[in-house]
Structure 1
Amino acid sequence: MNLFHSVRAVASSGDGEGAIDWDAVVEAARAGTDPGSVELTQAERSGYATDVRDARDRVREVAAVDFDVPDTIEIQHRHHWIDANVATFRRVLGPLEAQQSEFLPGVARTVNTGTMSFMLGFLARNVLGQYDPLLLADEADADHALYFVHPNIRQVATDLQVDFPRFRRWIAFHEVTHAAEFGAAPWLSSYLEDRMEEGLEDLSHGGFDREAFREMNVAMTVVEGYAELLMDHAFDDEYADLRAKVDARRQAGGPLSKLAKRLLGLGLKRQQYERGKEFFEGVAALRGLEAAGAVWESPEQLPTDDELDDPGAWVSRVGV
């Protein structure tokens, strides 16, 4: 980790065109982040493969949905994660990046570059596993990718004083539940990206498309809630202790860490977990676990914001 190199990369980004110097973003994020090690023992390498395979089989069994895990499954260190995600950040933020401030444009470019490098570095140090639907970049037939950031999983397991293979398996099961969702709903990736692009396009022109962000929040609440429901039925061990320890760790940290988590919406993600899981538990209590999977048949099957708090109303509307 070289903080001087990181600061120098950001400081030198003021010259040039565009609101963000993406080369400097990558350079600074990497320089300010210890990559960690991906030197795995044979047992660890086999463990990741076994966990993903077992998770796929169990989720298929309990959810009664047909899907497969991505062809791309990578064990990464933190710099790998930065490299894999910067293109997604760049594409998604395109509408905002085009609106560079005319007031002190070089200063704005430097600030924007520093902000993005901080965000990427912070996430690279905290992400454990990732199944990212927005990795479907520009090609309709591109494959989703499943990543595990091994140094972070190892570090968090150590910090929380939990068994590493058990913690790794829990992360694998959670990410594979997301693979099941997007496998069952081929339309979901485009739906989410369209909502995000609509919202950001409006922001770039000084507006705020509340409906686009509301629809995206509802969809992500469904994604996180359904994953939690599947985890309860698919994971082969009790995991309340793991969830409690991870939540406590996320709430801890200094003022800068807490600010970063707030800016990155990590608190919102926890609310999505809780609200979505409560909705699906209500659906499952009324019609069974398999009926909950009806949300993936089409965008029209997604609950409305009001229905998230009234599972019975959704059940009645969609007729499951």
Structure 2
Amino acid sequence: MNLYRSARAVAGASGDDAIDWRSAAEAAKAATDPGSLALEAGERGAYARDVRDARAAVRAVSGAEFDVPETIEIQNRHHWIDANVATFERVMGALETHTGTFPGIARTINTGTMTVMLSFLGRNVLGQYDPLLLADAPTDDHALYFVRPNILNAADQLDVDADRFRRWIAFHEVTHAAEFGAAPWLSDHLETRMEDGIANLSEGSFDREAFRDLDAAMTVVEGYAELLMDHAFDDEYEDLRRKLDERRQGRGPIQKLFRRLLGLGLKERQYERGKDFFEHVVAVRDLKTASLVWEGPEYLPSHDELDAPGTWLRRVDR
């Protein structure tokens, strides 16, 4: 970790865009220990086995036809930063396309802010299923990453078996692959609502409905993943979830601030709210009924229906 090199990269931010993405990536990596990728004997095979087992179990439970990315990446923190700079650039680039620039905000400040964000996430993300939203290349499909140093570090901090913890992460990420496989329209739906919100921001207005719809859709994505985990994972995991929650609650004030600024508290609320919605639907009906959410955008529960599952059931029940 080289904080001087990180600061120098940010100070040297240049170009015509609001953020110098190359400098942000260089600075984030300079400020972040990459962690070890010295895999133990059989470890790469264990990752592949966990993903295969998760795919088979989730397929059996959900009845969904889907696949996982051909390449499963075992990354260190620097690899994750490089992979996700492109994601952030796509999203922020869409905003710049509409606004042209960020008036009154210095490129150096923007680049520094993105550096802090990438560095923080790079040290904390465990696994990631990436549907590559807003990607231009027709070959871009989806990707599955595991950040090995973070998984081992979290398992050690939580005092849990690393192999079991890694398998739990694999199952969770594969549930997301199942959702996007079961609903080919989902990527376009999320992109459209995201772009609608961005377009209105560029005109100086806030499209509350676009962002409410986006939040509702992501709540469904996170909640349904939790539902599949409950049915597909081949071991108890309440202790893992509880220890992770305790770890989040025990973070220092600076880390808690970062989590709020990055919307990670919102993601946790989406987990809880979505899980409550689907638990109610399954208790009243069954898993097949819960899976109706993937029939089409019109089957997604609205923001209000997420808190009133009975209303959604009356609307879609056949």
Q: TM-score range by the shorter chain?
A: over 0.9
Matches of residues 199-278 of structure 1 in structure 2 within 5 Å?
199-278=197-276
User: Quick one: distance in 2 between partners of 1:139 and 1:23?
Assistant: 20
User: Quick one: distance in 2 between partners of 1:100 and 1:136?
Assistant: 19
User: Are the structure 2 counterparts of residues 145 and 102 from structure 1 closer, same or farther at C-alpha, using a change threshold of 3 Å?
Assistant: closer
User: Quick one: distance in 1 between partners of 2:292 and 2:308?
Assistant: 16
How big is the shift at 1:202? Answer: 2.2
- Name the residue aligned to 2:81: 82
How big is the shift at 1:258? Answer: 1.1
CA offset digits 1:244-289 (Å, max 9, x no partner): 1111112222222111100111111111111111111111112211
How big is the shift at 1:136? Answer: 6.1
How big is the shift at 1:102? Answer: 4.3
- Name the residue aligned to 1:142: 140
- Name the residue aligned to 1:118: 116
- Name the residue aligned to 2:68: 69
User: Quick one: distance in 2 between partners of 1:246 and 1:55?
Assistant: 21
Matches of residues 1-320 of structure 1 in structure 2 within 5 Å?
1-13=1-13, 15-97=14-96, 98-103=99-104, 108-135=106-133, 137-320=135-318
User: Are the structure 2 counterparts of residues 267 and 44 from structure 1 closer, same or farther at C-alpha, using a change threshold of 3 Å?
Assistant: same
How big is the shift at 1:141? Answer: 4.8
User: Quick one: distance in 2 between partners of 1:173 and 1:102?
Assistant: 44
The count of corresponding residues between Structure 1 and Structure 2 is 316
Contact 2:90 2:134 (8 Å CA) reproduced: no
Structure 2 counterpart of 1:100, one-letter code: T
Structure 1 counterpart of 2:101, one-letter code: Q
How big is the shift at 1:178? Answer: 0.3
| Secondary structure at 1:74 match in 2 | strand
How big is the shift at 1:16? Answer: 3.2
User: Are the structure 2 counterparts of residues 135 and 43 from structure 1 closer, same or farther at C-alpha, using a change threshold of 3 Å?
Assistant: farther
| Secondary structure at 1:305 match in 2 | coil
User: Quick one: distance in 2 between partners of 1:45 and 1:173?
Assistant: 16
Query: Which runs of 5 or more structure 1 residues have no equivalent in the other structure?
Result: none
User: Are the structure 2 counterparts of residues 130 and 204 from structure 1 closer, same or farther at C-alpha, using a change threshold of 3 Å?
Assistant: same
Q: How well do the aligned residues superpose, as a CA RMSD in angstroms? A: 1.4
How big is the shift at 1:143? Answer: 1.9
User: Are the structure 2 counterparts of residues 100 and 142 from structure 1 closer, same or farther at C-alpha, using a change threshold of 3 Å?
Assistant: closer
Structure 1 counterpart of 2:196, one-letter code: E
How big is the shift at 1:193? Answer: 1.7
| Secondary structure at 2:73 match in 1 | strand
Structure 2 counterpart of 1:66, one-letter code: E
User: Quick one: distance in 1 between partners of 2:55 and 2:128?
Assistant: 15
- Bigger mean CA offset, 134-143 vs 225-234: 134-143
User: Quick one: distance in 2 between partners of 1:292 and 1:133?
Assistant: 22
CA offset digits 1:46-67 (Å, max 9, x no partner): 1111111111111111111111
Contact 1:196 1:212 (8 Å CA) reproduced: yes
CA offset digits 1:7-38 (Å, max 9, x no partner): 1111121x432211111111101111111111
Query: Which runs of 5 or more structure 2 residues have no equivalent in the other structure?
Result: none
User: Quick one: distance in 2 between partners of 1:273 and 1:19?
Assistant: 33
User: Quick one: distance in 1 between partners of 2:291 and 2:114?
Assistant: 36
User: Quick one: distance in 1 between partners of 2:128 and 2:157?
Assistant: 20
How big is the shift at 1:209? Answer: 1.1
User: Are the structure 2 counterparts of residues 193 and 134 from structure 1 closer, same or farther at C-alpha, using a change threshold of 3 Å?
Assistant: farther
Q: What is the aligned-residue identity percentage?
A: 67
User: Are the structure 2 counterparts of residues 311 and 285 from structure 1 closer, same or farther at C-alpha, using a change threshold of 3 Å?
Assistant: same
How big is the shift at 1:72? Answer: 2.4
How big is the shift at 1:228? Answer: 0.4
User: Are the structure 2 counterparts of residues 280 and 125 from structure 1 closer, same or farther at C-alpha, using a change threshold of 3 Å?
Assistant: same
Contact 2:10 2:111 (8 Å CA) reproduced: yes
Structure 2 counterpart of 1:198, one-letter code: D
| Secondary structure at 2:12 match in 1 | helix
How big is the shift at 1:140? Answer: 4.3
How big is the shift at 1:185? Answer: 0.4
How big is the shift at 1:76? Answer: 0.4
